[in-house]
Structure formats: structure tokens, C-alpha cells
Amino acid sequence: TVTGTGKVSVKPDLIVLTFGIESTDFDYEKTMELATKAITELTAAVESAGIEKDKMKTTRFHIQTQYESIRDEQNNFQQRFAGYTCVQDVKLEFDFDTHLLGKVLSAVAESTVHPTLQVNFSVKDPEKVQADVLQAATQTARKKAAILTEAAGVTLGELISINYNWNAPPLFSPTEFHRESRMMMAKDSPEMNPDDIPVKENVTFIRKIKGAYKSDRN
């Protein structure tokens, strides 16, 4: 049984923006109206930067009731209805282009929407990255097996099984992108060269061996 570890570094070629919007009101229908208006304005801002509407993807839509704790006349805490909150997350992906990133952020900053923002640098073809890291892990395992069998005076036989657990983690660069205010968002983004994305995976091979192990001891 031999486990090989594959490691590759991938240059980001994709920008991923995640916008978060919260809309709150005591009336359910008003809350939904505010939520719809916010998404419409966010989409219009992104379109004004030159990006197609269809690239905006909703990744979360959640509406819930809100309550607050108050003290009654006997000084006991009671739960009081505080309205409805609609939470929406929207993802936007486009080819790595810091100039376009600046245009999008500026357009959103100049709109009436006030979303939270997360910027990540990723890759367009994660399947190729997976293939590369598995190949690297396989080569490492093969080298280990060759060293061990040679040292033991045996040879590799039939392959019994291959095991790996690809958990498909988010392929994001460790480079962090933060802007502290809407005024800073409204400025063009400088040229950036994010760190490569480190990817690691283990693959375990089980093979039979041919020959009897001969130790140096009698």
C-alpha cells in the first residue's frame, strides 16, 4: 500500500465576485418588494459596466422572521416580532481583468445598493486542475513503490485498487482583496498579480508484490 501526494500551483484566470444583500421590513410583501428592487438595481449597475445580465447567478435566497428581546412590566424578557429579513447572495464570474473589476465595483458603489462584497481569484477549468494534481500524485506513488520494492528485493505485481477522495475544495488564490469603503470601491483597481492557487491531493494504490522479502539477518 503506497500513498502519493500530488501538488500543483495554478495561475488564476477567473475573478469571482459574491454580493450579499439584506432587505428588512415589518411587512412581508414590502420586504419582498425591497429585495426585488435591490437585485434589479444591482443587476443594472453590473450591466452598465459591460457585463451581461445572465452572468449574475443567485447562490442563496433566504427569508426569515426576526425577533428582539424586550423586558415586560415584570422585568422578564419577552420575544417581540421585529419584521422580516430577506438575504440574497449573487455570484458574478468573468475572465481575469482588473480593469473590468474596477468598472464593476465603481458601478456598484455609485448605485443605491449597499451589498457586502467578497472578491476571489479562481480558475475557469477546475477539472484540468484535478487531472493535473491526480497525475502528480500517481507519479509520486509510483516512485515510492519503485524505491520500496527495490530495497526489499521484490517486484511489483497486479494492481488491486486505487483510492482517492477528491473533495473539490474551492480553488481560490490566497491573495485577499479588500476595500474599506464605498468611496474606495469607486476607484479603478490597480494591476494585480495574485498568488498562484496551491492544490494538493492524495492517492493510495494497493498492489501485489512478487518475490519473497529477504532481510540482511539470518
**Residue 184: pLDDT over 50:** no
- Contact status, residue 180 vs residue 117, Cβ threshold 8 Å: no
CB 45 within 8 A of CB 108: yes
Q: For residue range 117-163, list pLDDT tens digits in order.
A: 999 999 999 999 999 999 999 999 999 999 999 998 999 999 999 99
Strand partners, 205: 2, 162
Using the structure block, give the residue that is written with the C-alpha cell 509510483: 142
Residue 101 has pLDDT above 80, yes or no: yes
Dihedrals φ, ψ of 78, to 5°? -130, 150
Average pLDDT over residues 53-62: 94
CA 81 from centroid of its chain's CA atoms: 35
Element spanning 163, H or E: strand 155-164
- Report pLDDT digits (tens) over 10-55: 999 999 999 999 999 999 999 999 999 999 999 999 999 999 999 9
Distance CA 191, CA 24 (A): 38
d(CA 153, CA 50): 66
Q: At what angle do helices 28-48 and 98-109 cross, to 10 degrees?
A: 140
User: Distance between CA 39 and CA 108 in Å, rounded?
Assistant: 11
Q: Kindly report the pTM of this predicted structure.
A: 0.80
**Of 9-13, 38-42, 63-67, 189-193, where does mean pLDDT reach its minimum?**
189-193
